Amino acid sequence: MKYVYSKEVKKHKEKGLPILALESTIIAHGMPYPENYDFAKKTEQLCRKNNVAPATVAILKGNVHVGLTKKELLWVCKSGKLAKTSKREISTFVAKKKDGATTVSATIWIAYKSGVSVFATGGIGGVHKGSSKSFDISQDIIALSETPIVVVSAGAKAILDLPKTMESLETHGVSVVGYKTSDVPSFYSRTCGLKLNIKTNSAKEISEIYCEHKNLGILSSLLVMNPVPKKHEIPESKIKSIIQEAINKSRGLNIRGKELTPFLLKTITKKTNGKSLKTNVALALNNVKLGIKITKQVSKHGKVTQNI
């Protein structure tokens, strides 16, 4: 097994400078080309402008890459050859020397093992609607319960059963905080009618909480819910019926398992004439911006004071 760090990530690791982990499934399966490549380039530029090393994680020919070259990033976005890879599949992909796009569960594990403390994505996976019949609950929830890293999201994806997802996060002991909100954001929308227990008001505060989280030896992630900016929001009332139509279509076509989330995102993009994709890009970039602030704080102040 080989970890391949990009030059920037290597340098930042050696010097203790800030790094932000990013996933590859969001670009390889969550967005179409070329929008995914534009998004990925903007993300990396934003990081560099702020002296943060972007660490996009992907498995290429069985090697675990943390930070990609330009050519590799384009391949991830354009080739259509990377299978969606969650945490339980990482070892198989490595042993079989395959190409894999890592989901939240796989990415946070690899980031954590690489010594990276902060990760930003769009929305996490969770409990799917109709889960009592399908049993479809994302591995993201379990990975979040056993990977001590800061995860910046716009909440869970709106295609999910959000009350059950929030309950499941609680059951699995995942620490959840809102960023400048007490409402549970729902990906495309800033609210969904559910409330959060903890509101934070700054990246510094989040980094302080994360530091204590580590001091206490708590193994879960610190999941930050950061609502989509108002001007890019699609209100819940507008998107609700579109999501339901997409879910009905997936049931008609018997789409299940790891295909379900990409299918729903694609169908919703079609039904909103691209508006949902724009919102997805905007909320993910907004999370990257917050991730940058948090990782800078963590590398400044995030020293663990107690080893357990």
Give the residue numbers annotated as catalytic, written as ranges.
23, 157
Least distance from Mn ion to the Cβ atom of residue 44, Å: 28
Cα separations in angstroms, 197 against 116, 181, 278: 27, 10, 30
Number of residues that bind Mn ion (CB under 5 A): 1
Nearer to Mn ion, 128 or 289 (CB): 128
Instruction: Name the residue whose CB lies closest to ligand PSU.
Output: 122
Contact call for residue 89 and Mn ion (CB under 5 A): no
User: Which residues in this chain contact ligand PSU in the complex, by CB under 6 A?
Assistant: 23, 25-26, 29-30, 103-104, 121-123, 125, 138-140, 258, 261, 265, 280, 284
Q: Which does 299 bind (CB under 5 to 8 A by kind): Mn ion, ligand PSU, none?
A: none
Cα separations in angstroms, 175 against 23, 94, 178, 265: 21, 31, 10, 27
What would the x/- binding string for Mn ion be over residues 122 to 141, using CB under 5 A?
A: --------------x-----
Query: What are the contacts of 199-207 at 24+ separation with CB within 8 A?
Result: 200/224, 203/290, 203/293, 203/294, 203/296, 203/297, 204/297, 204/301, 206/150, 206/177, 206/179, 206/294, 206/297, 207/150, 207/294, 207/297, 207/298, 207/300, 207/301, 207/302
Least distance from ligand PSU to the Cβ atom of residue 23, Å: 5
Least distance from ligand PSU to the Cβ atom of residue 173, Å: 19
Q: Are 128 and 156 in contact (CB under 8 A)?
A: no
Least distance from ligand PSU to the Cβ atom of residue 230, Å: 19
Q: Which does 286 bind (CB under 5 to 8 A by kind): Mn ion, ligand PSU, none?
A: none
Scan residues 136-175 and list those touching Mn ion (CB under 5 A).
136
Least distance from ligand PSU to the Cβ atom of residue 265, Å: 6
Q: Which does 284 bind (CB under 5 to 8 A by kind): ligand PSU, Mn ion, none?
A: ligand PSU
Q: Which does 23 bind (CB under 5 to 8 A by kind): Mn ion, ligand PSU, none?
A: ligand PSU
Q: Are 51 and 18 in contact (CB under 8 A)?
A: yes
Residues in the chain, overall count: 308
Q: Which does 26 bind (CB under 5 to 8 A by kind): Mn ion, ligand PSU, none?
A: ligand PSU
Q: For helices 275-301 and 35-49, what crossing angle results, to 10°?
A: 20
Nearer to Mn ion, 61 or 256 (CB): 256
Least distance from Mn ion to the Cβ atom of residue 90, Å: 16
DSSP state of 190: S
Cα separations in angstroms, 275 against 161, 266, 268, 271, 280: 22, 11, 9, 9, 9
Nearer to ligand PSU, 54 or 125 (CB): 125
**Which value, to the nearest 10 degrees, does the dihedral of the CA atoms of residues 152, 156, 159, 163 take?**
-170
Q: Which does 213 bind (CB under 5 to 8 A by kind): ligand PSU, Mn ion, none?
A: none
Q: Which residues sit at the interface with Mn ion, rule CB under 5 A? A: 136
